[in-house]
Amino acid sequence: MTTLKKDTNKKQNVILQKIWKAIKPLIPSIIIVALIVVAAVYVINTKAPTEEKEPIPPYAYEGGEEPVVVDNGQLKLTMDPKTTAFSIEVKDSGKVWYSNPQGAAEDAAALEDQKSFLQSPLIMSYSITQGLETTYNSFGYSAQNGIYEIIPGENEVRVNYSLGSVEKEFTIPPVITKTRFEEFMGKLDKKEVDLIKQYYKKYDINKLTPKDNKDELIANYPIIETEVIYVLRSATKENVRKTIQDKFAAAGYTYDDYLADKELDLSTSSSDTPIFNVSVVYKLEGKDLVVEVPFADLDFDKETPIYTITPLPYFGAGGPDEKGFMVVPEGGGALINFNNGKTSQSSYYTNVYGWDMCLSRDAVVHNTRAYYGVYGVSEGNDSFVCILENGKNYASIQADIAGKNRSYNFVNAKYSICQREQYDVGDIANSDIYEYVTDLPDETLSQRYTFVNSGDYVDMAKTYGAYLQKEYAGYLDLVSDTSTPVAIEMVGAIDKVKQIVGVPVSRPLKLTSYNEASQIIDELSASGLTNMHVKMSGWCNGGVNQKVLSKAKTISALGSKKDLQNLVNKAEQGGNKVYLNGVTQYAYDSNLIDGFFSYRDAAKLISKERAELYNYSNVTYGQRENADNSYFLLHTDLAKKYTDNLVKAAQKYNAGASFQDLGMDLSSDFYRKKTYSREQVLSAQVQQLESYNNNGTPLMINMGNDYAVPFCQIVTNMDLRGSEYTIIDECIPFFQLAVHGRVDYTGRAINTCGNMENEVLYSAEYGAGLCFELMKESSFATQKTLYTEYYGAYFDAIKDNITEIYTRYNNELGHTFNQEMVGHKNLTSDVSCTEYADGTKVYVNYGYSDYTEGGVKVPARDYTVTR
């Protein structure tokens, strides 16, 4: 029996061991499944905490009716406490400017809502997920509701606005006991009593109807347990409440009675109408008015983010009988005359620094851009210049004339606050869906109004120039040029598809080798050209369609590194400068082999998708979405690194650095780990440019955004004329009046711009140097490529024209480039006159007939210089 028992135990142990061996590998899986089950049960049985929205507390005006006055000795600000509109008196001229038109409330051309806008020192819009935008004005949604604060300070006034629809307070009982109600009613006639009783409901705790909720009534009106009460019906309209208020007042009802009755009402009423808090600070600094809007003081619900803010939308607005003009930053500058009668034309609008490439868009009909954030107004012998300072990169400048839906001419800056991106959710929703950036950086919008005792736009421009010289002290001194600056863009290599073993492969195609570029410079020098700034494009990393600058690698088809060094040295010996051009903000035709991984290195949109960009069709205006057409905006940190790499490469050859995009394009970056606002990117770019300048590296940029110009030796492709919109009356060199003689600049390449004659005339009027785009290969080399824009760049074909244009231009204008531009006037719609510090005058005639002025004859389609 003992032996049998042992055998049985042995068999059981063997079975248990086998079971254990079978189960042991499954234990980790069993544990994981158990954990998942426990987690699932927990999630199912646990309610997520609901985030309770804290209501935005509105401000309340508790001041008097005496005007608020701030006086710094040069300016006097007087604010109406009932509307927050104000006037600014310029002490030395006696001119008074108004934040809002004086006759706005009686404007016969404006509807009631438009009158509210005209009386508002602040306009704000908010948006929702579906993209619907709603606009509030401070007069109708803040001042009339009494939900604002005015806080005077030393040389400043702060106005805290709450904007929204709030219920007006009337001195009538929201709840009143039967005894007191009948006491007051006893003092009125029967007709009046019957009217009032229509809008009050009687409650008796002992005689409730089935529809009455006893517990809710007790909670809202505790006195109902001991008294019969009357409760004002919630649907009672404002005009009726006003009538009831008058009746109760006649019966002796006071504000103290109202406060006592209000304590009987414990009910809470909530409104779905959003409330917003916005603070505006007005500072007097010398002869300047500085307006600030701190982001830190913006208060809004994330479901209704603030979309735009327009401070002082009608400051200095001109009336229907006034004479004056508005200055807008179109090209070098433009004028829109008051009451010009062009009421059928669209209003003026432009984006400061152009489009933010990190904001997606489906179509582009026309790109609007201004390379400086300034506008102004002139009335008679006085004017002001409004210079956008902090946050100007969020701004768009808009202007319109009287005679549309108002009787006033105005210009202002409108700021984008919470940026947004549209989602395509057509499969699950009938409307568009937008996502907003609601976590704002700690920044402040600021714009400076500088008052000028002159109505001449030249004096306005010189005021702006003085501001730039003070802001960038040490960087905008007069240049030492004694001849015309000439920008020569040498096109090195382009990419062309070739068949290699039957496989189409993109390879660099030489248009101008390093040695050929040197030969061209020699030939131009022999023809008399001096002061040449040679931009070497397509010199590295595959050519003009350059791959990312993880490192700068010369192109063997263009020659050796020694050839490139010889090009730089030889140009230097001849008194010229070579700049190595590069793309630092974008990734074209780049992959892992080139050191670029788009999921890691591209900037991110608001949706956190890669900032993949496309060219747009000139026919459909939509994106050309194909693999060969797309490129990427680089993550900001990487763009800064590639910018450093380009400068280091240029320093290696003792050349200058030319940026294809830096100083022209400005984009934010919503990269998840490290987000950059557009303002932060601007600051980073300024720091880099300033550092390169201080280290002695000559810099060249395109277009010339105002924050980049002070650190550069020359700006190419500056938009001199802009888009000549119909609403514009005159084109003027406003920006050029501010900076001429302190930085060299050119317009577009004369030989490839499409209208050589016009570009030379623009350059003569705007005080620009000359620019040419050149290549050694003939134009036939660009056939079957995507670079037909270089068709007119063939050097051998254009050489004589270059010499002819330059020789005359330099002989007549070469001495002016180290001088300030001190005057400009449009003599007719086709003829202008530009004047320099030494008295030189340049007459330009765009017309097709000769013009004579004071004995000076200006041939058709030509320019004449007098000294």
pLDDT, tens digit (0-9, with 9 covering 90-100), for 767-778: 999 999 999 999
863 membership: H or E segment, kind and range: strand 862-866
Closest by CA position to 423, among listed 408, 438, 413, 434? 434
For the stretch 441-488, pLDDT in tens is 999 999 999 999 999 999 999 999 999 999 999 999 999 999 999 999
Give the whole-angstrom CA distance, residue 329 versus residue 464: 12
Mean pLDDT of 840-866: 97
What is the Cα gyration radius of the chain? 36
Tokens representing residue 757 in the block: 């004659």
Q: What is the pLDDT of residue 169?
A: 74
Q: Which long-range contacts (CB under 8 A, 24 or more apart) does 613-618 make?
A: 613/357, 613/586, 616/363, 616/364
SS3 letters across 173-204: CCEEEHHHHHHHHCCCCHHHHHHHHCCEEEEC
Strands (E), 426-516: 433-436, 444-452, 486-491, 493-500, 503-510
Strands 744-745 and 714-716, sheet pairing: parallel
Strands 831-836 and 841-845, sheet pairing: antiparallel
Tokens representing residue 781 in the block: 């080399």
Tokens representing residue 413 in the block: 């800056």
Give the whole-angstrom CA distance, residue 14 versus residue 463: 100
pTM recorded for the entire structure: 0.87
Q: What is the pLDDT of residue 237?
A: 86
Q: What is the pLDDT of residue 603?
A: 97
> CB-based contacts of 448: which residues, under 8 Å, 6+ apart?
285, 288, 289, 290, 291, 386, 387, 389, 467
Q: Which DSSP string corresponds to 776-810? A: SS-GGGGTTSS-GGGGGGBHHHHHHHHHHHHHHHH
End-to-end C-alpha distance for the chain, whole angstroms: 136
Torsion, Cα of 476, 478, 484, 490 (10° steps): -30
Q: What is the pLDDT of residue 562?
A: 97
Mean pLDDT of 385-401: 98
Tokens representing residue 188 in the block: 């009125």
DSSP code at position 479 = P
Strands 96-98 and 86-90, sheet pairing: antiparallel
Higher pLDDT, 628 or 308: 308
- Average pLDDT across the chain, whole number: 92
Tokens representing residue 65 in the block: 């009716």
User: How far is the CA of 221 from the CAs of 199, 243, 458, 677, 834, in angstroms?
Assistant: 18, 25, 70, 51, 79
Give the whole-angstrom CA distance, residue 412 versus residue 314: 7
DSSP code at position 554 = B
Strands 656-659 and 699-702, sheet pairing: parallel
3-state secondary structure of 269: coil
For the stretch 20-34, pLDDT in tens is 566 666 666 667 666
Mean pLDDT of 216-245: 91
Give the whole-angstrom CA distance, residue 534 versus residue 518: 10
Closest by CA position to 487, among listed 739, 747, 752? 747
- 3-state percent breakdown (helix, strand, coil) of the chain, nearest 5: 30, 30, 45
User: How far is the CA of 164 from the CAs of 105, 147, 845, in angstroms?
Assistant: 21, 9, 55
Among positive and negative, which fits the CA dihedral 659, 663, 666, 670?
positive
Give 830: exposed, middle or buried? Use CB within 10 Å, 0-12, 13-18, 19+: middle
User: How far is the CA of 510 from the CAs of 558, 567, 608, 751, in angstroms?
Assistant: 6, 16, 39, 20
Largest CA distance in the chain: 143
For residue 204, the tally of other CB atoms under 10 A from its CB is 12
Distance of CA 803 to the CA centre of its chain: 42
- Residue pair 530/573 in contact (Cβ under 8 Å)? The answer is no
- Residue pair 465/457 in contact (Cβ under 8 Å)? The answer is no
Mean pLDDT of 502-516: 91
Mean pLDDT of 333-360: 97
User: Angle CA(407)–CA(408)–CA(411) in degrees, nearest 5?
Assistant: 150
Give the whole-angstrom CA distance, residue 339 versus residue 326: 11
Torsion, Cα of 376, 380, 381, 382 (10° steps): -30
Distance of CA 713 to the CA centre of its chain: 26
Give 72: exposed, middle or buried? Use CB within 10 Å, 0-12, 13-18, 19+: middle
- Residue pair 307/418 in contact (Cβ under 8 Å)? The answer is yes
Mean pLDDT of 290-305: 96
Q: Which of 276-285, 347-356, 619-628 has the lowest mean pLDDT?
A: 619-628
> pLDDT band at 5, cuts 50/70/90?
very low
Tokens representing residue 659 in the block: 């940026």
Give the whole-angstrom CA distance, residue 264 versus residue 132: 40
102-116: burial string, b at 16+ Cβ within 10 Å, e else: eebeebeebeeebbb
Flag whether pLDDT at 4 surpasses 50.
no
- Residue pair 396/349 in contact (Cβ under 8 Å)? The answer is yes
3-state secondary structure of 546: coil
> pLDDT band at 812, cuts 50/70/90?
very high
Backbone angles phi, psi at 365, to 5 degrees: -90, -45
- Residue pair 170/261 in contact (Cβ under 8 Å)? The answer is no
Mean pLDDT of 638-654: 98
